[in-house]
Amino acid sequence: MNQDFILGRLSEIMGWDTDRSRQEFDWLRLMSRMKYDGYQDFLAGMRFIESLADWIQQFSPAEREAAYGLIRGSLVYISTSEMNHLVELFYPETVQWRLQNAVAARLGIPPYRVWAAEEPSKLYRKLLRQTLFVELSDGARIDVFRRANAGTISNEQVVTAPRINREKWDDLLDDLRAEDKSARFSSIFLIDDFIASGTTLLRKEGDKWKGKLARFWKEVQEVLPTHFESGWTLNVHHYIGTHRAQRVVQERQKAALTEHGEGSWFNSVEFSFGIVLPEGTPIDAGSHPDFVALTNRYYDDTIETKHMKLGGHDARLGFGSCALPLILEHNTPNNSVALLWAETLGGEDKHAMRPLFRRRQRHV
Amino acid sequence: MENPFLKRASEYLRDDEAFLAVVSPEPVTFFLRGRGQAGTLYDRLLFMQGTPGSGKTTLARLFEYPTLTALLRNRSSSGYQSLAGALVECGGIVDDRPAVIGCRLTMETDYRDFWEFPYNETLKIGLLTTFVQARAVLAWFRHLASEGVSASRIRIVPRSDAETAVDAIGGPDAEGVLARAREVEAAAYEIVGALIAPREEDLSPAVTGAYRPFDVIDRIEVVPQNDATSPLSLLPLVILDDANVLHPSQFRALQHWLARRELRIARWMIARFDILLPQEALNAVTEDRAEADFPGLTAGRDIEIVLLQSSGPRREQRTAFRRMAKDMAGRYLQKHSLLGPRRLIVLSDLLSDQEESISPSALREYGEMVNAAQRRLRVTDSRREEFEKEVDSFRSGGRAVPPDVRLAMLMVLLHRYDRRRKKVATLFETDPEPSRPIAANSDVHEAAKLHLLHRYNRPFYFGIDDLCDSSSENAELFLQLSAVLVETVATQVIRSKGPQLSAGTQSRLLRQRAEWIINKWSFPYFQEVRQLVTWIGKRCVEVTQEPNGWLTPNSYGISQEEFENLAKNYPDLARVLQFAVAYNAILLVPNYKQGSKIWCLLELGGMVNLAHGLSLRRGGFLEGEAEALAALLEERPS
């Protein structure tokens, strides 16, 4: 669609005068070109500005400024290049530093001395080879991770499925032992793109611990004595995490360990994040009173599937009431405010929700 | 929608055709035609000075060989004909063929690095000149190769008295000259690119030996591929752009070296004012001639100085700039993705010159103020009627003035009358005659409009001429100001409104933009410059608002004698003033005669005038002293 035409329409819908239109057109052109047009789930023939014009029309004229204000002032959009950058930073900023410290601890030297002599450097290379990188979902961008670290991390160290069967474990060990007959794995990095509430990673349902971490604990039991060194370490890395998730996962890990006892749960899990969204990122009635009012007025609870209900509340502020104004280029997280992504048919006095960034549902 | 007005710097236009499409012939004609016809463009060192955005690089790039050939390729196109004509007048094109082969070497790259090496000054300068010569020779060959001319078809014509030196530059055949230039450039680059400076005794003979192609080469000839055409004889031209980034000693040595009279090649140096000493820089814009430091070198005879900013014949320059700016705006509008296809390509048509009056309620209020002033000043009704008739007979642009301006002019006349009449009326004289006649003229008109601007925010800056005049004769400033207007025109078109901007919109946008530009200043001493112009600007506003409108100043005058000793008596002020001039915050108007005194006016730049709401007309100034400005700078800039 002709962008200038739709900008003119948007100006009418918003009731902007010429000055405001000029300023907003500048911003909209820039942001759509630099970022928002790259969103992968726009409909054919529609890009950001068309989608925005369509989205904003669902609100009454008096409410539109509040809706636009959220997009203009608070939306956090992570583009592919930004996400790839976080992937590229994972090894030098997290993996290398962890292993360097591990080498320093084993040899009793300060970390900065690791590169100064042959022995610690050799041990670093050995520990690096004894490390496995396992993706927890297809958001882990494991292809980008591989390319970014070609020549540093072997393909045989990277596992592209969160569930690993016995045969695969044996293959991984065989590959490791091609160089050193007695070697075992010394650390694992579980990788995922995004964590908001921590529920998917680790949660307690009734008296049972569930989630990806609990599942991984079960699966790894079989091979722990044979494939891993004693004192091996588990690291969980997310490229993006919320402030809340950073706190919650630590608390849940601690609780799970206390409940299970040593030997029946991971003794320690190191959590790391490429970037942590600041504490003030989620919206609330204090920071965005008008927009929160919209989320109440324009909510259709038919979006609440059984998976959404795991979050514990209704979904108007997103899964787990995370209230995030966050969009990831490949898909909008369900932890984001529902008005941004939800699409419903409405009816029975319920508002038909129109998405700005249509979300591809993984759980139907 | 791309707004081409936001991309000013010619370096951003990589493609020659795209570059030529936005270049106006006016500055070529204005600055270079006379010199081209007199022959001084090519027979001596041409030193082009100007503020950022004054068009230095644009002029230089026009004379680069690929640009000239691109222009000749497209000369049948109407958009290029005027430009080709201007280059013919400057001797860049002769008989529809290029007459010069220009190469532009930007000094921004690695040339300055030589100065950081621990060698003696002579060696450092020698390395620099060798590097420059090698790169110029390579650039000439590269430009010819880009036009499909191989080295085998090139003939280097040496100076008649330098034939024996031909061997030293790899001659006599062109392949040898090219190979030698490559060898010298590689050797020089090894030094400049070295992490640690090589020892002096380890330097390659390729860079320390005799290599002086500028001393040897007279012409470069291109042998035609068939006998149908005659050989193309080209005058080599080297353009050292952004020479201000060199170390001052390098700059002066290079200038001295290039100013030697025996050189046959044409050579241009282009720099901002930053490189000069304060007094030199100030002299440069007041005398249009810089004194040389080296014995035997006379600026004027050995150096041709082209000053790309307001100085000298100011009325002529303003007219020329208006022509150029309008032409340039048309070219840019043609490239605007929204306005170009709609043929909205005449900027003056998009900027309304219809005055906008103050609101009816404000007009009523102002009318009462005039009545009150009449009563307070004890002016008789008959005297007022006389003034009203005077105002009614005044014409601005052939038109009677609108009611609000009429009232404001009347207000000015009442106050002028009050000043000029006898202060004590006698018993029999209630309506004394003024000492001088009270006339409603263009000064009163200007003062009245400025009063309305400051009191009621009545639009003052509108129409294409105001836009041009507020740009300080600087192309980049013109484009920066125009950009916001053009963007607003485009927004109106998108919103299905008429494209023309009202006077109110223009005036408001221009003033906002000027404030934004001033706030974004980041050149050396910008805080002191801002402090200086703000102080002058505020004082000018105070005087502008005086009710009798006796002066609408936008300048601060110090005596010419004081100005000439500025660097000696007030070195800090001179340095700040140098950068104020170099970055268009202030324009110098030297030797301005007023009464029995000769003044040097520090005229506020267009952005400052817009931001403070001052007249764009020239000549009005506050009399002052340098000492006051120097004392001001001793205060901490805010």
DSSP string, B494-556: HTT--SPBPHHHHHHHHHHHHHHHHHT--STTHHHHHHHHHHHHHHHHHHHTSTT------EE
Contact status of A26 with chain B (Cβ, < 8 Å): yes
Tokens for A55, please give them. Answer: 């989205």
Return the closest-CA partner of residue A177 out of A226, A123, A119, A120. A226
Q: What is the mean pLDDT of residues B505-521?
A: 97
How far apart CA B626 and CA B573 sit, in angstroms, is 8
Percent residues over pLDDT 70 in chain A: 97
Average pLDDT of chain B?
Answer: 88
- Minimal Cα distance from B337: which residue of A? A4
Measuring CA to CA, how many Å separate B201 from each of B128, B197, B205, B208, B337?
17, 11, 10, 10, 60
Min Cα separation B487/chain A (Å): 7
DSSP state for residue A231 in the 8-state scheme: E
Phi, psi (degrees; rounded to nearest 5) at B282: -70, -40
Tell me the angle at which helices A64-73 and A48-56 cross, rounded to the nearest 10 degrees. 150
pLDDT of residue A246: 96
Tokens for A88, please give them. Answer: 């590229």
Min Cα separation B447/chain A (Å): 29
Q: What is the mean pLDDT of residues B48-61?
A: 87
Residue B275 has pLDDT above 70, yes or no: no
Banded model confidence at residue B296, pLDDT cuts 50, 70, 90 = very low
Q: Is A357 helix (H, G, I), strand (E, B) or coil?
A: coil
Tell me the angle at which helices B78-89 and B65-73 cross, rounded to the nearest 10 degrees. 130
Q: Are A75 and A67 in contact (CB under 8 A)?
A: no
pLDDT digits (tens, 9 = 90+) for B591-631: 889 888 999 999 999 999 999 999 999 889 999 999 999 99
Q: Are B52 and B85 in contact (CB under 8 A)?
A: no
Q: What is the mean pLDDT of residues B74-88?
A: 85
Return the closest-CA partner of residue A212 out of A237, A181, A179. A237
Q: What is the mean pLDDT of residues B406-411?
A: 97
Phi, psi (degrees; rounded to nearest 5) at B486: -65, -40
* Chain B residues lying within 8 Å of A5, measured CB to CB: 494
Tokens for A294, please give them. Answer: 């919209």
Residue B432 vs residue B314, higher pLDDT = B432
Q: pTM score, two decimals?
A: 0.81
Q: Are A214 and A248 in contact (CB under 8 A)?
A: no
pLDDT of residue B634: 86
Return the closest-CA partner of residue B68 out of B17, B29, B105, B106. B17
**Helices and strands per DSSP (H, E), number in chain B:** 27, 15
- Minimal Cα distance from A19: which residue of B? B488
Q: Which residue has the tokens 């500028």?
A: B214
As beta bridge partners, residue A171 has none
Residue B364 has pLDDT above 70, yes or no: yes
Q: What is the mean pLDDT of residues B137-145?
A: 95
pLDDT of residue A3: 86
Residue B398 vs residue B293, higher pLDDT = B398
Measuring CA to CA, how many Å separate B499 from each of B303, B343, B512, B588?
48, 11, 20, 38
Return the closest-CA partner of residue A189 out of A102, A104, A82, A78. A102
pLDDT of residue A131: 96
Report, as ranges of residue numbers, the positions in chain A whose pLDDT lies below 50. 364
Contact status of B500 with chain A (Cβ, < 8 Å): no
Min Cα separation A61/chain B (Å): 18
Interface residue of A4, A5, A6 to substitute, partner B, most B CBs within 10 Å: A4
Residue B502 has pLDDT above 60, yes or no: yes
Q: What is the mean pLDDT of residues B75-82?
A: 80
As beta bridge partners, residue B94 has B97
* Chain A residues lying within 8 Å of B491, measured CB to CB: 11, 18, 21-22, 25
pLDDT of residue A52: 96
Return the closest-CA partner of residue B416 out of B550, B509, B544. B550
How far apart CA A268 and CA A286 sit, in angstroms, is 38
* Chain A residues lying within 8 Å of B338, measured CB to CB: 4
Contact status of B488 with chain A (Cβ, < 8 Å): yes
Answer whether A8 sits within 8 Å of B496, measured CB to CB.
yes
- Range in B269-278, B477-486, B609-618 with the lowest mean pLDDT: B269-278
Q: Are B116 and B192 in contact (CB under 8 A)?
A: no
Of B1, B338, B495, the CB nearest to A18: B495
Q: What is the mean pLDDT of residues B182-193?
A: 90
Banded model confidence at residue B295, pLDDT cuts 50, 70, 90 = very low
Contact status of B338 with chain A (Cβ, < 8 Å): yes
Residue B534 has pLDDT above 60, yes or no: yes
For A328, other C-beta atoms within 10 Å of its C-beta total: 23
How far apart CA B331 and CA B314 sit, in angstroms, is 25
Q: Which residue has the tokens 């970390």?
A: A111
Residue B208 vs residue B281, higher pLDDT = B208
Contact status of B494 with chain A (Cβ, < 8 Å): yes
Answer whether A22 sits within 8 Å of B488, measured CB to CB.
yes
pLDDT of residue B424: 56
pLDDT digits (tens, 9 = 90+) for A116-147: 999 999 999 999 999 999 999 888 999 999 99
Of A11, A26, A29, the CB nearest to B495: A11
Residue B80 has pLDDT above 90, yes or no: no
How far apart CA B71 and CA B81 sit, in angstroms, is 9
pLDDT of residue B290: 38
Min Cα separation A363/chain B (Å): 40
Interface contacts A/B by beta carbons within 8 Å? 32
pLDDT of residue B298: 46
pLDDT of residue B34: 85
Residue type, B506: Q
pLDDT of residue B1: 56
Tokens for B506, please give them. Answer: 């223009």
pLDDT digits (tens, 9 = 90+) for B93-105: 999 999 999 999 9
Contact status of A8 with chain B (Cβ, < 8 Å): yes
Contact status of A2 with chain B (Cβ, < 8 Å): no
- Minimal Cα distance from A8: which residue of B? B495
Q: Are B547 and B417 in contact (CB under 8 A)?
A: no
Contact status of A22 with chain B (Cβ, < 8 Å): yes
pLDDT digits (tens, 9 = 90+) for B229-256: 788 999 999 999 999 888 888 998 999 9
DSSP state for residue A93 in the 8-state scheme: I
Contact status of A12 with chain B (Cβ, < 8 Å): yes
DSSP state for residue B41 in the 8-state scheme: T
27-56 in chain A: CB under 8 A from chain B: 29
* Chain A residues lying within 8 Å of B493, measured CB to CB: 4
pLDDT of residue B289: 40
Q: Is B591 helix (H, G, I), strand (E, B) or coil?
A: strand
pLDDT of residue B294: 42
